[in-house]
């Protein structure tokens, strides 16, 4: 790789990749909740329904803004396909592998009752409203955590094992709102997605797997986090 970056700069960008999208999301969703408070004169914490709606409204633009900003910052250092590892010579095979991996994780979530089978495959207005968030997270979180971070850490001289571990931990920390057990669970998920990226050399298996999983487990996972803190 022609572009080189210091370990210190790489570490700062790892932190930014964890914190940045969260801050963008909190800013956008906070505006929505603030307007809701002003209109309803509600007292006390917002209702779970409003929190879920604020996530559906705030997260897609926040995560896409993060991808756009990261690309804009590094656009003179690398092309989009290199920066986010989107180049593929066999994208059909990559997506098929990702669908298989995603189906495996859907089974894991269902068999362990993190999200019930009924919640996964019940199609209603709330499920429909969750689709933009599920798609945005499936694409953008992979572009950032398995694409950009793998590229950045490689530019800092990190080996494959270090890239895999750091990106997986960053992915887990980025889901801090699930609580400690949820972060650990998400770190393991990120590790398997990272293995697929290292194997295929691009993010598309991870994008396909992550998107399929999100489409099945949301909004059930959000609702469970609000009621039980991901205690299962």
Which helix (H) or strand (E) covers residue 203, if one does?
none
Which residue, among 31, 37, 39, has the nearest Cα to 57 in the 3D structure? Answer: 31
pLDDT at 232: 33
Which residue, among 169, 194, 196, 197, has the nearest Cα to 184 in the 3D structure? Answer: 169
pLDDT category of residue 228 using cuts at 50, 70 and 90 = low
Q: Please write the tens of the pLDDT for every residue from 141-160.
A: 999 999 999 999 999 999 99
- The predicted model scores a pTM of 0.94
pLDDT at 223: 84
- Given a cut of 50, is residue 231 above it in pLDDT? no
Lowest mean pLDDT among 40-44, 160-164, 223-227: 223-227
Lowest mean pLDDT among 13-27, 114-128, 184-198, 217-231: 217-231
pLDDT at 229: 54
Q: Rounded to 5 degrees, what angle do the CA atoms 45, 140, 85 make?
A: 155
Q: Please write the tens of the pLDDT for every residue from 55-93.
A: 999 999 999 999 999 999 999 999 999 999 999 999 999
């Amino acid at each position: 790789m022609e572009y080189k970056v210091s370990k210190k700069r790489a570490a700062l960008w790892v932190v930014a990749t964890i914190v940045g999208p969260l801050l963008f999301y909190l800013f956008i969703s906070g505006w929505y909740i603030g307007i809701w408070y002003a209109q309803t004169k509600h007292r006390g914490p917002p209702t779970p329904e409003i929190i879920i709606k604020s996530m559906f409204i705030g997260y897609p633009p926040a995560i896409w803004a993060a991808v756009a900003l990261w690309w804009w910052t590094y656009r003179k250092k690398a092309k989009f396909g290199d920066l986010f590892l989107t180049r593929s010579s066999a994208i059909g095979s990559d997506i098929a592998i990702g669908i298989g991996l995603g189906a495996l994780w859907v089974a894991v979530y269902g068999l362990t009752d993190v999200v019930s089978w009924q919640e996964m495959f019940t199609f209603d207005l709330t499920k429909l409203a969750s689709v933009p968030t599920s798609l945005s997270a499936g694409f953008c979180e992979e572009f950032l955590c398995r694409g950009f971070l793998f590229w950045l850490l490689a530019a800092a001289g990190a080996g494959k094992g270090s890239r895999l571990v750091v990106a997986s931990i960053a992915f887990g920390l980025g889901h801090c709102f699930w609580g400690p057990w949820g972060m650990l669970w998400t770190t393991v998920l990120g590790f398997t997605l990272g293995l697929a990226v290292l194997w295929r050399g691009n993010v598309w298996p991870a994008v396909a797997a992550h998107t399929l999983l999100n489409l099945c487990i949301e909004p059930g996972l959000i609702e469970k986090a609000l009621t039980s803190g991901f205690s299962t």
